[in-house]
Amino acid sequence: MPAYVVRRLGHLLLVAAGVVVITFSMLHLIPGDPALVVAGEFASDESVKAVRARLGLDQPLHVQFARYVVNLVRLNLGESFRSNVPVRRELALSYPISAQLAVYSMLIAGVVGVPLGVIAAVRRGTLADLATMLVAMAGLSMPSFWLGLNLILIFAVRLGWLRALWSGALIDYLLPAITLATFSVALIARQTRSSMLEVLSQDYIRTARAKGLAARTVTYRHALLNALVPVITVIGLNFGYVLGGTVITESIFSMRGMGLLLVGSILDRDYPVVQAGILVLALNFAVINLAVDLLYAVIDPRIRYE
Amino acid sequence: MTRLAKTWQWLLVVMATLGVVSGIWAPGDAGPALRDVIRVSVRTTVVGLDSKYETSSTVGAINSNVLESLVTIDYDGATIRPQLATEWKAESPTSWVFKLRPNVKFHDGTPFNAAAVKFGLERMADQDSSQRGDFSWLQSVQVVDDLTVRIRAKFPYAPMLSSLAFYEPYIVSPTAVQQMGTGFGQKPIGTGPFMYDTHIPRQKTVMIRNENYWGEKAKLARAEWLIVPEENTRLAALLSGELDLLTIIEPSIMQALATRPQYAVIRGPDDLVDRIGFNVKKKPFDDPRVRKAVIHGINRVQMLATIFGGVGVVFDPPLAPGIWGYDPPTMAKLSYPYDPQKARALLAEAGHPNGFRTTFTIINRPDHRQIGEVVQADLKQIGVDVQLRAFDFATVAQSTRQGDHDMYIIGTYGTGDPDRVFPEFESANFNVKNRNFWSDPEVDRLIAAQRSEIDPVKRLVLVRQAAAKIREAAPEFPLRWRRAVQAINKKVKGYRVHPQKWFLPNVTVEQ
Amino acid sequence: MLKRLARHRSAVVGLIVIGVLILAAIFAPVLAWHAPDIQNLPNRLAQPGSPGHVLGTDELGRDILSRLLYGARISLAIGIVVVLVAVGVGVPAGALAGYDSRYDAPIMRLTDLLLSFPGILLALVVVAVLGPGLRNAMLAVGIFSVPVFVRITRASVLSVRDLEYVHAARVAGSSDVRILFKHIMPNCLAPLLVQATFRVATSILTAASLSFIGLGAQPPSPEWGAMLATGRVNLYIAPHVTLYPGLAIFVTVLAFNLLGDGLRDLLDPRLGTTH
């Protein structure tokens, strides 16, 4: 077991290194000069040059990269080109918002999706199956911003129950989390349904059914738990997707999360913020993947020796 | 008496007492209760607040509550008002003397004086300042005494006072700049009726009343500026009461509010002009007939009435009606009205009877995209096939500076001195302010001459001559001079639209 | 019996809708009363049912129904291109990883790397490098759809690789390539087909999201997501401008999802998706 964990940690570091290299390369491939953005559109060529020197962008690429890596190892993420605010502070402002949003939306998705999937599996082939899956799939079929804008219209404007602008309070996460959750609900429901079906068709379930009520209840509970394992994978994978894909929801609900920060920084050619932000998101995703896989390995010993 | 009856009796007594007591203490007809905070929404994101480095008009408009300059512009977009300077006099064509307001302190307590003015002005002309181009005329700022400065220009500079008023170099606390270093941009310290309290880049800026302001104190205790990128959410927040004032709104929001009496759509003069320019280094825009044909081919009046919601004024290049030197009799009638027939004739004359293909560089924003689509459709009618090239701001800025473009959209000024606009036509400013890459030695001479002509009568002649030549050559043309349109909850009192500021000290908000 | 029929019914509904979509796309020039990019500014935001405009006009006066019909072509194209890119790269990679364990680790690491990048941001960067436009946006979406297909193919290949008959074929002297194509790949077809169907659905949605931030189809393209994105400013005064493209996306994506679900049930009811 420890060997497995160590090996997976090694993979994680490899992926992190890959992310750093690819992000750095891609950023420098994008046309547009960060120094021009900072100096101002109407700055003279000398001013732009002066700014470029100040930001260290006039050095050859490998020197810039080396300097970045050395700083990274020292956990120095640098300062934003655009605001001179330490990158650490920018991330500290944005990451908690995105993380909370992702967690709450996955909670909602799980709480709604799992029961839907269970019902659909247990009542397979009936109208209930069709109905629950249709409801789940409705969420999978609409663009999130459409739903978000309409939720604001209904709950903030017409009913006045919730706020249209995010202000940091816990309740302000409700509408954005619901908006994000609709996509994941469907995936979770679908996965729950198919895993439940797979588990329910196995021999020991049939035996339990034959044995009678008490044995059935115990075994159904066991079945549900087993069925949930792949569901956890879906939840984990989706969490990573949601964490990075929140930019539209953040834009609609005026939340300054990682999405808006990174999109804004890419547009501003704010290299330090983009590099740090993408690395954080990638590490997040990798760590969650690792956690899910470890969970799997704990539950199913066969996987460890892969 | 039963226990229940006793309880009821007791309750009655309590309620009666409360009623009497509240009757005594309730405010009489003291008028509507006032709130102490106003919430304003901003659409474009705000990262830093130091106007030395930030060129966006949003930052300037917010800063106008916190930072002050020697002189400032009034609500009409033309009259110059004293602010931190009380009197001024032109000593010579190259120097002005300003008397400064006494007993003014910066928000950090340090005194405002001539040394601070020198510091504030000179930092705007620094090598790394984004405003450097606007202060390239500045030679020196001399401290005559604690409350007097002499400002010298490098050459006789007729619009010196107006430059100081329109470009508004903010006088900031030198101590603060030195102590805070790069952090100053997150919390500038000035002399205004409000001071910055917190600033979260890309999210929210909060300012609080300056209790030690030299003038009349602000009526509100606090103002919050919230960045709300989505137009629909801004409207929703206004309707739900979370926002009191929306800056810059779309025509659709105007329409949506027309049926809601608790909200008002207010208008006023704006400083901005939307215009389209031609890169005359690229064929076929080197031929003025082709350029004129394109202008004739675009229905600007219809564009104004439809996608701009009728807000604004269409005019001829290069001077907007708000600019000094604009001549109503000659300029009121468009020299380049919408005339597709004439356009086609001009194209044929220039050797393009079947039209031609070109590109139109725009920024990837909804408003630019809409303009691009309308221009594309209009020009198709006269045989010009326009391909839209929409990129993000950084790419467009670099691309147009390098001259990679054919047609492009850019903004310019709509109020103030003509010298705010003329640099865009000078050969010395190629790839910085002059992205048309057009020049004419005679126009260069006229522009330089009007810049140094102190006598306003003679200067007006020169200005109009230069403007006429530019109009005739048409290296660019305006889509419209904007008019500022904002949306406000009627509970907000005392707010007036200003072309450059979102000015709050006189504003109150009812409950 | 009822069970199978119920599931099949929804899949059949999905199939019919997709059929209608394909017909609309092919016959758009015939069916549409107006060209999709003809503007009529004085008649902008006309209500549905106005003369000549069954579904009304958009903010530049263009007929919405016509734009929807032409937009069907684009939506189909998006789905096809994205799936082609993702399958074209993902399936060979996954097959190689599953079949030959020398390549397994590096390919899986690369896949993990790709998965670590947040989708929209990757698309933003790719489009910034290559230039805006639907083609580059589809390329980006295709790229970040690759990992799913790698994993599915690899899992399928792994599950059959060591079976008796494959072993027999190898002993009999068949080349690796032949074994792969003849014996192993047919096994993967089912899950791949199912996933490809789902991918068409999500790629249409992703294209709409990219249009929201201005990265997808460029004006004046009648892509449904772009219609939603530009029309949404008028949500409070002219909701029809976003309602119809929104419905079109909803119905289309739902149809592909239903079809995918049905296919999966048909091909193997116990098939768990290995997302």
Least CA distance to C38: which residue of chain B? Answer: B377
Residues in chain A: 306
Alpha carbon distance B497, B74 (integer Å): 11
Q: Examine the pLDDT at C275 and tell me if it is beyond 60.
A: no
Q: Examine the pLDDT at B321 and tell me if it is beyond 60.
A: yes
Q: Among positive and negative, which fits the CA dihedral B470, B476, B479, B483?
A: negative
pLDDT, average across residues A262-278: 93
Which band of pLDDT confidence, cut at 50, 70 and 90, is reported for residue B26? very low
Q: Does A126 contact C at CB distance below 8 Å?
A: yes
Distance from CA of B243 to the nearest CA of A (A): 9
Q: Name residue B176's amino acid.
A: A
- Taking CB atoms and an 8 Å limit, are A14 and C242 in contact across chains? no
Which uninterrupted H or E stretch holds A300?
none
Local structure of residue B151 (DSSP, 8 states) = E
- Which of A33, A85, A254 minimises the CB distance to B233? A254
Please give the mean pLDDT across all residues of chain B. 91
Q: Examine the pLDDT at B155 and tell me if it is beyond 50.
A: yes
- What pLDDT score does A238 carry? 76
Q: Examine the pLDDT at A57 and tell me if it is beyond 70.
A: yes
HEC profile for C22-50?
HHHHHCHHHHCCCCCCCCCHHHCCCCCCE
- What pLDDT score does B25 carry? 39
Distance from CA of B283 to the nearest CA of A (A): 25
First to last CA, chain A: 12
The two structure tokens encoding residue A262: 């990174």
Q: Examine the pLDDT at A305 and tell me if it is beyond 50.
A: no
Q: Does C234 contact B at CB distance below 8 Å?
A: yes
- Taking CB atoms and an 8 Å limit, are B366 and C233 in contact across chains? yes
Tens digit of pLDDT for each residue in B101-152? Answer: 999 999 999 999 999 999 999 999 988 888 988 999 999 999 999 999 999 9
Q: Examine the pLDDT at B1 and tell me if it is beyond 70.
A: no
Q: Does B252 contact A at CB distance below 8 Å?
A: no
Cα→Cα distances B139→A76, B311, B418, Å: 41, 40, 21
Cα→Cα distances A1→A6, A150, A302, Å: 9, 49, 11
Cα→Cα distances B263→A28, B54, B240, B494, C65, Å: 48, 32, 12, 14, 35
All residues of chain A having their beta carbon less than 8 Å from the beta carbon of residue B232 are: 149, 152-153, 252
| Least confident piece of the model among A39-43, B294-298, B299-303, B326-330 | B326-330
Q: How many other C-beta atoms lie within 10 A of the C-beta of residue A213? A: 9
Least CA distance to B254: which residue of chain C? Answer: C237
pLDDT, average across residues B29-56: 85
3-state secondary structure of B360: strand
Q: Decide if B43 contacts A78 (C-beta within 8 A).
A: no
Distance from CA of A31 to the nearest CA of C (A): 7
Cα→Cα distances B111→B68, B150, B171, B273, Å: 14, 19, 12, 39
Residues of B77-111 as b/e, b for ≥16 C-beta within 10 angstroms?
A: bbebeebbbeebeeeeebbbbbbbbeebebbeeee
Tens digit of pLDDT for each residue in C72-87? Answer: 999 999 999 999 999 9
Least CA distance to C274: which residue of chain A? Answer: A230
Q: Examine the pLDDT at C101 and tell me if it is beyond 60.
A: yes
pLDDT, average across residues B415-419: 94
Q: Name residue A277's amino acid.
A: G
All residues of chain C having their beta carbon less than 8 Å from the beta carbon of residue A200 are: none
- Taking CB atoms and an 8 Å limit, are A125 and C112 in contact across chains? no
- What pLDDT score does B8 carry? 62
Tens digit of pLDDT for each residue in A176-220? Answer: 999 988 888 888 888 888 888 777 777 666 776 677 767 667 666
- What pLDDT score does C5 carry? 55
Identify the residue whose tokens are 């522009």: B447
pLDDT, average across residues A79-104: 93
Q: Examine the pLDDT at B249 and tell me if it is beyond 60.
A: yes
Cα→Cα distances B439→B326, B414, B470, Å: 21, 21, 9
Q: Examine the pLDDT at B75 and tell me if it is beyond 90.
A: yes
- What pLDDT score does C19 carry? 94
Q: Is B396 or A224 the better-scoring residue by pLDDT?
A: B396
Which band of pLDDT confidence, cut at 50, 70 and 90, is reported for residue A66? very high
| Chain A stretch 23-62, residues whose beta carbon is closer than 8 A to a beta carbon of chain C | 26-27, 29-32
HEC profile for B71-125?
EEECCCCCCEEECCEEEEEEEECCEEEEEECCCCECCCCCECCHHHHHHHHHHHC
- Which of B305, B377, B390 minimises the CB distance to C39? B377
Alpha carbon distance B174, B119 (integer Å): 7
Model pTM?
A: 0.89
- What pLDDT score does B28 carry? 43
Query: Of the candidates C165, C171, C203, which has an alpha carbon nearest to the alpha carbon of residue C77?
Result: C203
Query: Of the candidates B84, B281, B293, B98, which has an alpha carbon nearest to the alpha carbon of residue B192?
Result: B84
- Taking CB atoms and an 8 Å limit, are A134 and C10 in contact across chains? yes
Residues in chain C: 275
Q: What percent of chain B is modeled with pLDDT above 70?
A: 93
Backbone angles phi, psi at C57, to 5 degrees: -120, 160
pLDDT, average across residues B502-510: 94
Tens digit of pLDDT for each residue in A19-29? Answer: 999 999 999 99
Cα→Cα distances A260→A90, A95, A277, C58, Å: 11, 11, 11, 29
Distance from CA of A29 to the nearest CA of C (A): 6
Q: Examine the pLDDT at C2 and tell me if it is beyond 60.
A: no
- What pLDDT score does A184 carry? 85
Q: Does B404 contact C at CB distance below 8 Å?
A: no
Q: Examine the pLDDT at B336 and tell me if it is beyond 70.
A: yes
Q: Decide if C209 contacts C120 (C-beta within 8 A).
A: yes
The two structure tokens encoding residue B145: 């005494």
All residues of chain A having their beta carbon less than 8 Å from the beta carbon of residue B433 are: 42
- What pLDDT score does B128 carry? 84
Please give the mean pLDDT across all residues of chain A. 85
Which band of pLDDT confidence, cut at 50, 70 and 90, is reported for residue B469? very high
| Least confident piece of the model among A113-127, B13-27, B230-244, B359-373 | B13-27
Q: Decide if B192 contacts B65 (C-beta within 8 A).
A: yes
- Taking CB atoms and an 8 Å limit, are C218 and B388 in contact across chains? yes
The two structure tokens encoding residue B91: 């000593």
Which band of pLDDT confidence, cut at 50, 70 and 90, is reported for residue B5? low
